[in-house]
Structure 1
């Protein structure tokens, strides 16, 4: 992206390098210090980056400037992690639907497609804060009532594990779970979504309007 390159090291996570045209050289400008066996990576924008690793997890890092020994150094700090359950081996900027059916209500700033070695194609969409909080509330409500085929709790299933630790997923929303409410009888879906406030409106908690936003999101892929 411009003069920036995102590098996924097989064993050392992500680093960001910039091209110095005068010296015809690459210079490392930021690094994520968590060891990971990387399988794919992509630049979201100049300060935010998406990665996938061999434990079937997705993660997001953002640039952060820190003072180390009196020097200003940039680090790539983890801003989200999520157990996908499949190994991603490619990211590409793009969409799964044509521009004519894009959402006019839900603002999407970046759209990144991914492919997995199992043959799946998926999409990661970046939401602004009000809509992220809204869909997080929907996810929590649906997870309290809907179980997967293994009868595992959603929080446990999407937890991120590696050789040393297991942490609860954060910074990501499970779109499959959110949209699963559309497969339920409408009366049951309305009951689950009751009490969820619409983004940017602290007083509107109409479950019918909540359901419309979920339907709109489902049409984006």
Structure 2
């Protein structure tokens, strides 16, 4: 291998007009494309053949609704080293409209918990103009339309804190957790940004 040479290690065979890319870890990459979508791909390092190891598999898809033009590892808030939230890796993004957002790589158990909360919130909080949350967040470009996967809507989840106490209690009961504990877990999430 030549010093300073670019070498292809793996390829995403989906044609996307990319606007930003970031490496999340050795095998997972984050991308934004011109139809206002985000997606993640994973390199199959354990593949049996060179072809399998050279193919990037799409593992996450999400319609952001914004044209991302920059990703950057980091945080907008001071992280406390002794808190669990302080250990969660985050990527900040900027868009052409001036939006600044955060993408957090959550531990699997926390992801599953928040995914369950999100599914309950979708039933309670209605989208603007009658547009359903799943429909709005579905990955959509000229070539395909698919449900969002492996991304959560932090704004929707944080809106739990704005609900009436009765609605909070109903959702907490459905999730088999106390309202106070659920509020605490959502408030922890707000400390990521």
TM, length-normalised to structure 2: 0.91
Deviation at 1:141, TM superposition (A): 0.5
Please report the RMSD computed on the Cα atoms of aligned residues, expressed in angstroms: 2.0
Does structure 1 residue 185 correspond to structure 2 residue 164? yes
Name 1:139's counterpart in structure 2: 118
Ranked by relative contact order (alpha carbons within 8 Å, sequence separation 6 or more), the top structure is: 2
Deviation at 1:208, TM superposition (A): 2.1
Name 2:101's counterpart in structure 1: 122
Does structure 1 residue 176 correspond to structure 2 residue 155? yes
Which structure's residues are more often strand, by fraction? 1
Q: How does 1:7-26 map to 2 (within 5 A)?
A: 20=1, 22-26=2-6
Q: How far apart, CA to CA, are the structure 1 residues paired with 2:165 and 2:76? A: 27
Cα distance, 1:58–1:72 mapped onto 2, change above 3 Å: closer
Which structure's residues are more often helix, by fraction? 2
TM, length-normalised to structure 1: 0.80
**Of 68, 83, 92, the match for 2:72:** 92
Which 5+ residue runs of structure 2 have no aligned equivalent?
none
Name 1:57's counterpart in structure 2: 37
Q: How far apart, CA to CA, are the structure 1 residues paired with 2:153 and 2:183? A: 16
Flag as ranges the 4+ runs of structure 1 deviating above 6 A. Answer: none
Name 2:189's counterpart in structure 1: 217
Q: How far apart, CA to CA, are the structure 1 residues paired with 2:179 and 2:79? A: 28
**Of 12, 21, 41, the match for 1:32:** 12
Q: How far apart, CA to CA, are the structure 2 residues paired with 1:147 and 1:133? A: 22
Count of matched residue positions in the alignment of Structure 1 and Structure 2:
192
